[in-house]
Amino acid sequence: MARIIRFHEHGGPEVLRIEAFEPQPPGRDEVRIRVKALGLNRAEALLRAGTYIETPVLPSGLGLEAAGIVDEVGEGVENFVVGDLVSIIPPISMVRWPAYGDLVTFPESMIVKHPARLDFVGAAALWMAYLTAYGALIGIAGLKRGDFIVITAASSSVGLAAIQMARLVGAVPIAVTRNSVKKQALLDAGAAEVIASSEEDLRARLEEIAGKDGVRVVFDAIGGPIFQPLTAAMSRGGILIEYGGLSGEPTPFPLFEVLAKRLTLRGYLVHEITGDPARLAEARSFIADGVERELLKPVVARTFPFEEIAEAHRFLESNAQLGKIVVTV
């Protein structure tokens, strides 16, 4: 028997259950993985709570990231053999392909051999954060040397990946966080400047840092009222990439800033990268090279054992972490 984590009703972390199941052999072009570590993501908490963009049929599994060892391969699999150390590229649907389990099966196209420099914990913390950052910063914004980039929710795994990626290409990352508690940790992580949005005038600080040229790129996971000061500090022709909605408050459309500065406001999901083989190959190569050169390195806030998945979700929703939460199996 193997174990899987599911929920039978929407709610808080307490609805998560560890259940036994009889594993089936992988089908054609599928790979079965003995999981060693799971990376947690905000999307999983939203799915569990019933507020995600995907609506599951209950009971439902969940999970977008895992790393482990190839346990069995199906007919037609060409690139993997039993014993390979691998990671999962986040699937478009975690309901269809849930990662929370100690034995999971995924299509070969969603599996990669993770960089040898990483252990299972690091590998489970890699792909969602760095693919998300790559697709926005490199793929869409074309971030380059000297650009000022604002990164909100900067202490998240995606925010930290974006800081590292900005540094890698020579841009200037400005981290935005709610208060100054994590300020020094964000500076240590590579942020050029840190702004505590609840303690400082965000627009004034951004204008002070970026000067008359303004901020060319904004990478935002929050939305809500923060749109006004962010766009006010942007440069002409700048781009704001929105990949989340953590605020929960209405997001005003900054009409006059958009018109006067010819701004681009762009919604973005990591599926744009993971669903396009050519773009995914470019992203994987970029990220793997950065890891090998030790310029990209996942930051793990804390690890929990598999049996404490509910407690891991509680910590995820506390917003106390700096970086990725990983569950070991």
313-328 pLDDT, tens per residue? Answer: 999 999 899 999 999 9
Assign residue 237 a region (left: φ > 0; alpha: ψ between -120 and 50; beta: otherwise): left
pLDDT in tens, 27-48: 999 999 999 999 999 999 999 9
Mean pLDDT of 102-118: 95
How many separate domains does the chain show?
Answer: 2
Angle formed by the axes of helices 157-169 and 277-292, to 10°? 80
pLDDT in tens, 296-314: 999 999 999 999 999 999 9
Mean pLDDT of 196-213: 95
Asked if residue 256 and residue 142 are part of one domain, the reply reads yes
Q: Are the CB atoms for 254 and 262 separated by under 8 Å?
A: no
Residue 161 inside a domain? The answer is yes
DSSP state of 11: S
Which pLDDT value is given to residue 195?
98
**Where does a domain end: 271, 289, 308?**
271
Q: Does position 62 have pLDDT exceeding 90, yes or no?
A: yes
Asked if residue 155 and residue 244 are part of one domain, the reply reads yes
Residue 181 inside a domain? The answer is yes
Residues forming a β-bridge with 173: 149
Residue 276 inside a domain? The answer is no
Average pLDDT, the chain: 97
Asked if residue 74 and residue 54 are part of one domain, the reply reads yes
Residue 291 inside a domain? The answer is no
Q: What is the DSSP string of 39-86?
A: E--HHHHHHHHT-SSS-PPSSEE--SEEEEEEEEE-TT--S--TT-EE
Q: Are the CB atoms for 119 and 85 separated by under 8 Å?
A: no
**Where does a domain end: 271, 287, 318?**
271
Q: Does position 212 have pLDDT exceeding 90, yes or no?
A: no
Residue 278 inside a domain? The answer is no
Share of the chain above pLDDT 70, in %: 100
Q: Does position 125 have pLDDT exceeding 90, yes or no?
A: yes
Confidence class of residue 248 from pLDDT cuts 50, 70 and 90? confident
**Where does a domain end: 230, 253, 271?**
271
Provide the residue range defining the domain that includes 19.
2-126+299-328
213 versus 301: which is more confidently predicted? 301
Asked if residue 104 and residue 31 are part of one domain, the reply reads yes
Give the pTM: 0.95
Asked if residue 156 and residue 36 are part of one domain, the reply reads no
Asked if residue 238 and residue 190 are part of one domain, the reply reads yes
